[in-house]
C-alpha cells in the first residue's frame, strides 16, 4: 500500500502547537466576545457568578478560543459550556472527567477546564472523580456545589446535609454526606481548594491558582440553588450574617494530614487552598512512554505504526 506523508490531526496534537506570533500579539478576548448565549439559570442562581469569573479569568490571562476547552456533564451547573463562546462540550451525566481526560492527554496545547455539579461529580461521576484525581491528569475541575440536584428539581445529593428534606428524602436525608475535599485529598488530587460564589475575588484567585497548577486541580465552589435550597450557604456569607474564614496563613499546603484535618472543620469551614503538591502527571508519564517508543520506530507517523500493527494482525 502506498503510504502518504500527510500529517494527521492526532500527530499534530503530539507536540504543543507553536504560537503564531501574530496570535500572541492578539489582544485578550472580552467578556462580550466570550459570552455565547444568555444563561438559562434562575435569577439569583450562584452559577452566574462562577461563569462571570471564568470570563474574567480568560480575559485576564488573555486566553484565546484555541487555547482552552470547557467540558461538563449534565445538570444546571453543567450547562456552563453552552454559555462560553469557545470549544467545549456538555457531555453525558457524570462523564465530564473521562471526556476531559481524553482532551488533556491528546492536546497538550489546550488548558482543560471541567465544570460539574455535586450530583454530576460526586454521585454518578464519583468514580471518575476519584480516578482522575489519583491519575493526576492535568486539568482544572470546578464543582458548583449547591448540595442538591437542581436540574431535576430537588433530590438529595451526596453533599446534602443530614435532615435535608427533598423529593427523595421526604422525612429528611438520612445518609451521611461526603466531604469532597477529604475525598480529593485521600484519592491523590494534587491541588485542592474551596471557595464560594458569593466571594468573587476569592473565586477568581482560586481559579487562577488552579489553572497554574500542573496536575489535577480541584475547586469545590459553593453555589447556591435559590430555587431548591435557598439560604444553604448563608452561614458562609458575611452579607447574610455568616463568616468567611480563610485557610489560616500558617497552614502548610503540602501537609496532607493537616489538609485533611482542616477539611474536617464543620460547616461553614474554611476557604482557600487546602492542599498543593507536585507529583508527575499522567500527561508527563504518557508523553515519556510515547517518546521512548517513538525513538524505536524512527520517523514513522502514528498512522503508519497503527497500519503496521493491523498488518501484523492479518
Please tell me whether residue 201 adopts helix, strand or coil conformation.
helix
* Shortest reach from residue 75's CB to Mg ion, in Å: 6
C-alpha–C-alpha distance, residues 176 and 164, integer Å: 11
From the list ligand TPP, Mg ion, ligand SF4, none, partner contacted by residue 41 (C-beta under 5 to 8 A by kind): ligand SF4
Catalog residues that contact Mg ion under the rule CB under 5 A.
117-118, 146
Would you give the distance in Å from CA 190 to the centre of its chain?
A: 13
CA distance 217 to 114: 10
Interface residue with ligand SF4, options 216, 228, 271, 274 (CB under 6 A): 228
Minimum distance of ligand SF4 from residue 191's CB (angstroms)? 25
Tell which residue, 247, 90, 230, has the closest CA to residue 181: 247
C-beta closer to ligand SF4: residue 104 or 225: 225
How many alpha carbons fall within 13 Å on the CB side of residue 154? 12
Least CB distance to ligand SF4 at residue 265 (A): 25
Residue 188 exposure: Cα atoms within 13 Å on the Cβ side = 15
Rule CB under 6 A: choose which of 150, 180, 268, 269 binds ligand TPP: 150
Residues 66-105 that bind ligand SF4 (CB under 6 A): 76
Q: Evaluate whether 259 touches 193 at the Cβ level (below 8 Å).
A: no
Q: What is the distance between the alpha carbons of residues 169 and 146, in angstroms, rounded to a whole number?
A: 17
Angle between helices 47-60 and 200-212 (to 10 degrees): 50
Taking CB under 6 A as the rule, which mask of x and - marks residues 129-168 in contact with ligand SF4?
-----------------x---xx-----------------
Q: Residues in the site for ligand TPP, rule: CB under 6 A?
A: 74-77, 93, 117-120, 124, 144, 146, 148-152, 157, 225
Q: Residues in the site for ligand SF4, rule: CB under 6 A?
A: 41-42, 45, 47, 76, 146, 150-151, 225-228
Amino acid at each position: 500500500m502506498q503510504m502518504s506523508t500527510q500529517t494527521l490531526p492526532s500527530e499534530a496534537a503530539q507536540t504543543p502547537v507553536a504560537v503564531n506570533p501574530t496570535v500572541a500579539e492578539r489582544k485578550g478576548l472580552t467578556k462580550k466576545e466570550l459570552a455565547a448565549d444568555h444563561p438559562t439559570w434562575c435569577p439569583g442562581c450562584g452559577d452566574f457568578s462562577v461563569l462571570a469569573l471564568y470570563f474574567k479569568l480568560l480575559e485576564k490571562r488573555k486566553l484565546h478560543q484555541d487555547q482552552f476547552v470547557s467540558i461538563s456533564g449534565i445538570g444546571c451547573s453543567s450547562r456552563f459550556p453552552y454559555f462560553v463562546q469557545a470549544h467545549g462540550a456538555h457531555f453525558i451525566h457524570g462523564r465530564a472527567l473521562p471526556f476531559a481526560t481524553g482532551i488533556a492527554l491528546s492536546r497538550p496545547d489546550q488548558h482543560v477546564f471541567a465544570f460539574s455539579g455535586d450530583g454530576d461529580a460526586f454521585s454518578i461521576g464519583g468514580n471518575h472523580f476519584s480516578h482522575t484525581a489519583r491519575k493526576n491528569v492535568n486539568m482544572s475541575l470546578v464543582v458548583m456545589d449547591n448540595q442538591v440536584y437542581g436540574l431535576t428539581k430537588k433530590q438529595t445529593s451526596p453533599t446534602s446535609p443530614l435532615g435535608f428534606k427533598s423529593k427523595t428524602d421526604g422525612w429528611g436525608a438520612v445518609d451521611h454526606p461526603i466531604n469532597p475535599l477529604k475525598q480529593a485529598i485521600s484519592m491523590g488530587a494534587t491541588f485542592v481548594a474551596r471557595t464560594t460564589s458569593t466571594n468573587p475575588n476569592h473565586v477568581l484567585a482560586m481559579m487562577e491558582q488552579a489553572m497554574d497548577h500542573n496536575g489535577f486541580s480541584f475547586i469545590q465552589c459553593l453555589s447556591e440553588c435559590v430555587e431548591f435550597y435557598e439560604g444553604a450557604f448563608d452561614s458562609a456569607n458575611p452579607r447574610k450574617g455568616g463568616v468567611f474564614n480563610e485557610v489560616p496563613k500558617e497552614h502548610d499546603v503540602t501537609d496532607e494530614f493537616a489538609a485533611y484535618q482542616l477539611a474536617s472543620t464543620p460547616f461553614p469551614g474554611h476557604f482557600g487552598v487546602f492542599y498543593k503538591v507536585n507529583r508527575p502527571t499522567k500527561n508527563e508519564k504518557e508523553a515519556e512512554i510515547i517518546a521512548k517508543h517513538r525513538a524505536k520506530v524512527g520517523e514513522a507517523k502514528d498512522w503508519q505504526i497503527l497500519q503496521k500493527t493491523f498488518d501484523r494482525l492479518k
